[in-house]
Structure 1
Amino acid sequence: MPFSALGLSPALALAASKKKFLQPTPIQAAAIPAILRGEDVLAQAATGSGKTAAFALPLLQLVQGAGRKVLILVPTRELAMQVGQEIKSLVQMLATPIKVVAVFGGVSINPQMMQLRGRADVLVATPGRLLDLIGQNAIKPEAFTTLVLDEADRLLDMGFSEEINRILALLPSQRQNLLFSATFPSNVNALADAILQQPTRIIIENNAENRPDILQRAIVVDEAQRADLLVQLILDSGDARALVFVASKNIAEQLARYLASAGIKAAPFHGEFSQGRRSQVLAEFKSSNLQVVVATDLAGRGIDIDDLPCVINFDLPRSPADYTHRIGRTARAGGSGVAISLVTPHSEAHFRLLEKRLEMRIVREHIDGFIAQEQAVAGSGEGGIKGARMSKKDKLRAAAARAQQEGHEPDSN
């Protein structure tokens, strides 16, 4: 099915083809016609399935034809830049001038205020920076007639509920609302019920036909041998790049140094980095000047690297949603990839819970020279699976992450 069959204008269909979108993905085929009809949309599809184009293409047509003003809320700086760049690349192929601006914390607000002078047809923003700019009278929220919540689960997981409610109160009551997410825990469903009016519900099942082509592996290894096993896995891969996820910024720093000492070009990536340093690390990773980036969940959520072959969970994710988003950094846009989890005897129970919640089972592997000798500890599991209600510890983490992400103070991650 061509994009033109979905109701897109010839110019936007051509823009999609120039972006090498050969045919609509399932989420695009379902969402584009509904958005063009002006309907509210609740959409769930796996990370890397083409969600950004699913809302960007029809919204650009509505901006062109109906003078819409679009606000897109995202959870992280990296995602704000990524979405902004994706939409700008489409706009560059159109004859009609459309102004796209991305704003986020962690950098000076003044250049962003300068960019907003005149107008912004499409504004991509993190919640805290958006409220800052509204407070500076640089943005008139009543002008936006379309709201997109992108990666809604992460927006709430990072503790942005209060900011989102403040923003919703400032927007016009009559507007089109689009809510996109890879997972839909109970808090996201509650938000959807509150803001969506008779939405078109689009659930792209993670079945064999639509599932990203990710080979999932689980290697059993003792805690003390994880770093050495990681070195071997990376060296065995040749020059292939890998994104390694860890539990804290301290581990990210230490593990990156350890990899570097083994002759591997590696760098940490976490919430205490300035925006300039984040951008530099990502640029070096994309150009293959870095082979490995060791990231925390907070920083790694917005990483979008074309043809990234491998994701490695050095520390296991705390929730099924985090696992889904981590492995979704590979096999994007129809590609393939590998996701490896290092499972210690201590974390085996936790990994089994992840498997149960995700309704999957991954065969455990054992690598010669790294056969686990430790005994599992009864009741262990790296803190268990996060539920719908946030614990006090999680609330503190979310508040710190939110503050850091918007550039107010360092996070504790």
Structure 2
Amino acid sequence: MSDIQSEIQTDSAVPDTSAIRFSDFGLSADILRALSDQGYVNPTPIQAQAIPIVLQGRDVMGAAQTGTGKTAGFSLPIIQLLLAHANTSASPARHPVRALILTPTRELADQVADNVKAYSRHTALRSTVVFGGIDMAPQTAALRAGVEIVIATPGRLLDHVQQKTLNLSQTQILVMDEADRMLDMGFLPDLQRIINLLPTERQNLMFSATFSGEIKKLASSFLKNPVTIEVARSNATADNVTQTMYRVDDGTKPDAVSHIIRERNLKQVIVFSNTKIGASKLARHLENEGVKASAIHGDKTQNERMAALEAFKQGEIEVLVATDVAARGLDIAELPCVINFDLPYNAEDYVHRIGRTGRAGASGDAISLYSEKDERLLVDIEKMIKHKFVRAELTGFVPKPAFERPARREGAERNGERRDRGDRSETRGSSSERSTHHTRSAYTSTPISRKEKIDPWFLKPYEPTVPTDAANGAASNAPQAGASIKPPKHKLAALLGGAPKR
């Protein structure tokens, strides 16, 4: 294997592809029919440059912003190259795995699989997707029936290899989609194991929005004389996405997100959080504010994540709070806005995040919130994308006082819900103050006296008990009013088991 030798690069100038049509690439009538079903006529710049190179059988490194059509850039020529092996035989042996597409996340794998299925719908080629988090049985059944194209996450793919339900000995094409994210997620050992399972002679394709030094090092180890295609400057952001930076205090970020959603009347927005706990807390906060929100992250089951994503696409959920891993590969048509609740620790993730909006040439907004402690992360992003942000103030936003509680949920009183409205953080007073027996109202902090509830008997002066009758000196049999009745004293020996002998 050798280093990158050939290169096609257009820097920040995006070529005009309005005069190019998919029919100019020599694609089969079945593929063109499928593209027509999708309403596709003209390719995007990455597609226009990648498809002819892949059809030549060359290795490719393709770099373009997220949302510019990289999936079709490699899947369309793969389907065209495999049409020579397409057949309608029922025998699994006639349908070996000939193309393997690796993705870092389940969501991206599912998205790529949908695209491949749509583009090959009028052909006899078979495809399937395998990823973790769900039952392996249906995946095993599909693999054993025979498929030419497999879309997979690395871990689940190796599970099937170990159980001998997948054979890669006849694979002719390997695709690594979002390879930088796979390295970030620690998949490098799995990728090396998978590469060792493949035939030496094969075509290798790498597509991603960003190419770090680690990615280029990995590419040089297994790509052979690759052609590097960059339709825009490496690590650049899309020009049709408006990027805004608002400085807010760290503790007021949840309220700032609510304010932005209300002021802009956003009905479909993805909010990015760096942590799973943070995503869940923010989703709950938005729900309490009356915003339909749901969180997706690694602790959610695959069914929960897919259900939330589907509800978001259908408009049943207005805000999807996601971590980077869960959001990678999400393709929402005409998504108007994304919000960075946290600035990403990895500057390259910023490009992927804002690439969720402004897809396929549409315009979009990318709003980021940052506090004083995030300044270093912001500078790293500016250095990577070579763009200086204007720090703006969020106009009209008045943070809630720290002690203010969210509004009571509707129906709480009907359900008998009890809440402590007192100020639990109040500093306790002295012992004399604590002995006044005051309580606080549920609606005010003014002390309320309880003197009207004190029995007057307790206010009488102390009267000692008179042991004898003052008139005749005899012992009194009836206790006087206010005197306490004391039990007779017993000898200690009687209490311990009997009086001593006399």
TM range (shorter): 0.7 to 0.9
For 1:228 and 1:112, locate their aligned partners in 2 and report how far apart those are by CA, in whole Å.
43
> Are 2:133 and 1:106 aligned?
yes
| Helix, strand or coil at the partner of 1:347 | helix
Q: 2:47 is matched with which residue: 28, 45, 58?
A: 28
Name the counterpart of 1:259: 286
| 1:95-133 deviation per Cα after TM superposition (whole angstroms, max 9, x unaligned) | x21111000011111111011122111100000111110
> Are 2:90 and 1:90 aligned?
no
Deviation of 1:336 after TM superposition, in Å, equals 1.4
- Distance 1:37-1:66 versus aligned 2 partners, 3 A rule: farther
| Helix, strand or coil at the partner of 1:258 | helix
Equivalent runs, 1:61-210 vs 2, <5 Å: 61-66=80-85, 69-92=98-121, 94=122, 96-206=123-233
For 1:28 and 1:123, locate their aligned partners in 2 and report how far apart those are by CA, in whole Å.
21
Deviation of 1:3 after TM superposition, in Å, equals 0.8
Deviation of 1:27 after TM superposition, in Å, equals 0.6
**1:364 partner letter:** R
Paired residues of 2:337 and 2:366 also in contact (CA < 8 A): yes
| 1:332-387 deviation per Cα after TM superposition (whole angstroms, max 9, x unaligned) | 12211100010212212321221122101121111235489xxxxxxxxxxxxxxx
Greater helix proportion: 1
Paired residues of 2:238 and 2:358 also in contact (CA < 8 A): no
Deviation of 1:41 after TM superposition, in Å, equals 0.7
> Are 2:276 and 1:214 aligned?
no
Name the counterpart of 1:368: 395
**1:90 partner letter:** Y
| Helix, strand or coil at the partner of 2:299 | coil
Name the counterpart of 2:13: none
Paired residues of 2:259 and 2:397 also in contact (CA < 8 A): no
Deviation of 1:211 after TM superposition, in Å, equals 3.2
> Are 2:34 and 1:15 aligned?
yes
Higher RCO (Cα < 8 Å, 6 or more apart): 1
Paired residues of 1:268 and 1:295 also in contact (CA < 8 A): yes
For 2:391 and 2:129, locate their aligned partners in 1 and report how far apart those are by CA, in whole Å.
43
Paired residues of 1:101 and 1:123 also in contact (CA < 8 A): yes
Equivalent runs, 1:321-332 vs 2, <5 Å: 321-332=348-359
Deviation of 1:271 after TM superposition, in Å, equals 0.3
| 1:270-291 deviation per Cα after TM superposition (whole angstroms, max 9, x unaligned) | 1011111011000000001000
Paired residues of 2:127 and 2:149 also in contact (CA < 8 A): yes
Paired residues of 1:219 and 1:364 also in contact (CA < 8 A): yes
For 2:266 and 2:385, locate their aligned partners in 1 and report how far apart those are by CA, in whole Å.
31
> Are 2:361 and 1:334 aligned?
yes
Deviation of 1:302 after TM superposition, in Å, equals 2.7
For 2:57 and 2:346, locate their aligned partners in 1 and report how far apart those are by CA, in whole Å.
35
Paired residues of 1:31 and 1:54 also in contact (CA < 8 A): yes
For 1:308 and 1:38, locate their aligned partners in 2 and report how far apart those are by CA, in whole Å.
35
Deviation of 1:24 after TM superposition, in Å, equals 0.8
Paired residues of 1:245 and 1:315 also in contact (CA < 8 A): yes
For 1:362 and 1:18, locate their aligned partners in 2 and report how far apart those are by CA, in whole Å.
41
| 1:129-151 deviation per Cα after TM superposition (whole angstroms, max 9, x unaligned) | 11110111111111211100011
For 2:260 and 2:233, locate their aligned partners in 1 and report how far apart those are by CA, in whole Å.
28
| 1:42-90 deviation per Cα after TM superposition (whole angstroms, max 9, x unaligned) | 1111100100000111110111125681100000000110000111111
Name the counterpart of 1:395: none
Deviation of 1:210 after TM superposition, in Å, equals 9.3
Name the counterpart of 2:490: none
Q: Which runs of 4+ in 1 moved over 4 A?
A: 369-372
Structure 1: runs of 5+ lacking an equivalent: 373-413
Equivalent runs, 1:275-286 vs 2, <5 Å: 275-286=302-313
| 1:189-214 deviation per Cα after TM superposition (whole angstroms, max 9, x unaligned) | 0111011111111111149x993510
**1:7 partner letter:** G
For 1:147 and 1:85, locate their aligned partners in 2 and report how far apart those are by CA, in whole Å.
18
For 2:241 and 2:42, locate their aligned partners in 1 and report how far apart those are by CA, in whole Å.
21
Paired residues of 2:245 and 2:390 also in contact (CA < 8 A): yes
For 1:172 and 1:45, locate their aligned partners in 2 and report how far apart those are by CA, in whole Å.
29
Q: 2:339 is matched with which residue: 309, 312, 318?
A: 312
**1:157 partner letter:** D
For 1:288 and 1:181, locate their aligned partners in 2 and report how far apart those are by CA, in whole Å.
29
For 1:105 and 1:153, locate their aligned partners in 2 and report how far apart those are by CA, in whole Å.
20
| Helix, strand or coil at the partner of 2:373 | coil
- Distance 1:288-1:322 versus aligned 2 partners, 3 A rule: same
Structure 2: runs of 5+ lacking an equivalent: 1-19, 87-96, 400-502
Name the counterpart of 1:53: 72
CA RMSD of aligned residues (A): 1.7
Name the counterpart of 2:454: none
| Helix, strand or coil at the partner of 2:53 | helix
> Are 2:330 and 1:303 aligned?
yes
For 2:266 and 2:340, locate their aligned partners in 1 and report how far apart those are by CA, in whole Å.
19
For 1:243 and 1:309, locate their aligned partners in 2 and report how far apart those are by CA, in whole Å.
9
**1:73 partner letter:** L
| Helix, strand or coil at the partner of 2:359 | coil
Paired residues of 1:221 and 1:370 also in contact (CA < 8 A): no
| Helix, strand or coil at the partner of 1:307 | coil
**2:229 partner letter:** I
- Distance 1:210-1:294 versus aligned 2 partners, 3 A rule: closer
**1:265 partner letter:** K
Name the counterpart of 1:383: none
Paired residues of 1:269 and 1:294 also in contact (CA < 8 A): yes
| Helix, strand or coil at the partner of 1:142 | coil
For 1:204 and 1:368, locate their aligned partners in 2 and report how far apart those are by CA, in whole Å.
37
For 2:360 and 2:77, locate their aligned partners in 1 and report how far apart those are by CA, in whole Å.
19
Please tell me whether Structure 1 or Structure 2 has the larger radius of gyration of its CA atoms. 2
Paired residues of 1:43 and 1:179 also in contact (CA < 8 A): yes
